[in-house]
Structure 1
Amino acid sequence: MNKRKSLKELNLLDKFLFDEAMDDPENVKTMLDIILSQNTNLKQSPQTEKEQRTSTDNRQIRLDVYAIDEDDVIYEVEAQKENTHNLPKRSRLYQGIIDSKLLPPGVVDFNLLNEVLIVMITPFDLFGYGLYRYTFQMRCEEVPELKLDDGATRIFLNTKGKHPELVSQELIELLKYMEHSTDEVSEQCKSERIQKIHRRVCRIKASKKTEVKYMQAWEEKLLERQKEKRELLRKMNHKMSIEEIADVLDMDLSEVKDIIEEQYDTED
């Protein structure tokens, strides 16, 4: 696992800081207002790290930010730092699971489904056209101007866009600030709304309580990854050499040997 950055070194694209910052409804509202160029009135406080699943047997997902406005439009916003090469289909899964929870059992009027808008913010160009923003809605192939109007929209934002004329300057500033949430970048932003976000982020970074929470979260994640590696190692043992296992799992050779010996001792 990579060396742990300090809380002060985190940017808004880092999951922990993003979740902490988006616990503040004002930050969520400001972010949505800038992204969508509208005035968003949230009905209730947004939820971060909201767990969703269709049943106890199905895969769970954790939504970074889940919010509902006064018109019952649902917003789901993700900060995705790494290109996992599956984001379009991941967004499809998110939309499907959100949709499956919207209608009470027995309700058959699908027109009651809320509008759902999923936003993924990334520091890379997922589609290669150099845009800051890619917006997807269902359209007819045979009649391109014909929209399906199913109430679902997915937006992918790229902090490294190259066509500023297609989006607002404030959105560009927001994306740059999310990638580098520093005093220096904040000072270059003309947007007063982004300056306010920065002041709130500074308070989070200066909080001793949040520092302890961050350290605990990092340690829990480290233990979880170690557990996952041990399980993978157990499955790969006898199928690959120790050297190959160490390379695939990015582990020291001695660590792999110790775990294998420990497993043998347990079996005995």
Structure 2
Amino acid sequence: MQDLLTKFANLTIQSDFIFKKVMSRKRICKHLLEELLQIEIADINYLEAEKTLEPEYTSRGIRLDIIVADDKNTHYNLEMQVKNNKNPDTDTYVLPKRSRYYQALLDIDLLQKGSRHPP
């Protein structure tokens, strides 16, 4: 039991468990978004936690940590990334491409079938 308490005491915001617990607090999540993006948000709604998007069986799927939407229906994907590894073949960092890929899959998911614009 003591080992478990010690492990819990050593957790930081970088742990998946703590990140989701902290970001599930509406006031904290809203404040963080406003500070990071330098915008004012009237309110946020939690849409999903740990949403999996798999575009095709041959494509790489993703699991999003937390998705919230504001009063203007702008969607925000909150992720905790602690490493920015390099691609060994190109010696470039992977986080920028990973971020774009996540955003693209989010956009695809938001587009309704047959729709020209996001809802």
Alignment of 1:148-159 (within 5 A): none
- Structure with the largest fraction of strand: 2
The one-letter code matched in structure 2 to 1:113 is P
CA distance in 1, matches of 2:24, 2:57: 27
Which sections of structure 1, spanning at least 5 residues, go unmatched? 115-268
Of 72, 97, 100, which aligns to 1:89?
Answer: 97
CA displacement 1:12-39 (0-9 Å, x = unmatched): 1222211121122222111101112222
CA distance in 2, matches of 1:74, 1:84: 27
The one-letter code matched in structure 1 to 2:45 is Q
Q: Does 1:113 align with 2:118?
A: yes
Partner of 1:45: 46
CA distance in 1, matches of 2:43, 2:85: 31
Which sections of structure 2, spanning at least 5 residues, go unmatched? 87-93
- CA pair 41-7 structure 1, distance change in 2 beyond 3 A: farther
Deviation at 1:56, TM superposition (A): 5.0
CA distance in 1, matches of 2:66, 2:82: 15
Deviation at 1:92, TM superposition (A): 1.2
Partner of 2:75: 74
- CA pair 74-106 structure 1, distance change in 2 beyond 3 A: same
Conserved? CA contact 2:49–2:65, under 8 Å = yes
User: Between Structure 1 and Structure 2, how many residues are aligned?
Assistant: 108
Following superposition, which runs of at least 4 residues in structure 1 exceed 4 angstroms of deviation?
none
Give 1 or 2 for the bigger CA radius of gyration.
Answer: 1
Percent of aligned pairs with the same amino acid = 29
Deviation at 1:58, TM superposition (A): 3.6
- CA pair 101-13 structure 1, distance change in 2 beyond 3 A: same
Alpha-carbon RMSD across the aligned residues, in angstroms, is 2.2
Partner of 1:23: 24
CA distance in 1, matches of 2:9, 2:48: 23
- CA pair 88-75 structure 1, distance change in 2 beyond 3 A: same
- CA pair 47-41 structure 1, distance change in 2 beyond 3 A: farther
Conserved? CA contact 1:48–1:63, under 8 Å = yes
Deviation at 1:46, TM superposition (A): 4.6
The one-letter code matched in structure 1 to 2:85 is T
Conserved? CA contact 1:13–1:81, under 8 Å = yes
- CA pair 83-43 structure 1, distance change in 2 beyond 3 A: closer
TM-score, length-scaled by structure 1: 0.36
